[in-house]
Amino acid sequence: MRDERLKILGDNIRAERMRKKISQEKLAELIDVNKDSIRKIESANQTPSAFIVFDIANSLNIPIEDLFKNVPVKRD
């Protein structure tokens, strides 16, 4: 479940970034992280902090909820 959720989040970030025509390098610069971090987040190889996701949404000028679109809710 965790990997699936990270993959969907990463795919959503990539899709929104590309829709806005922003490179990984530019997004990294906007949120003050290195380009490798953005690559790892988008490929589900790194779990971003809540603050990183918040900064990504703000940099892309979208509601944070858009980045979690289609991410399944974990049920006990």
Catalogue the E-assigned strands of 2-60. Answer: none
At 71 the pLDDT is 95
> At residue 42, what is the residue type?
E
Examine the pLDDT at 75 and tell me if it is beyond 80: no
Rg (CA), the chain: 12
Write out pLDDT tens, residues 13-53. 999 999 999 999 999 999 999 999 999 999 999 999 999 99
Distance between CA atoms of residues 13 and 35, nearest Å: 14
- What band does 1 get if pLDDT is binned at 50, 70 and 90? low
Distance between CA atoms of residues 4 and 63, nearest Å: 21
Distance between CA atoms of residues 52 and 38, nearest Å: 10
- What band does 74 get if pLDDT is binned at 50, 70 and 90? confident
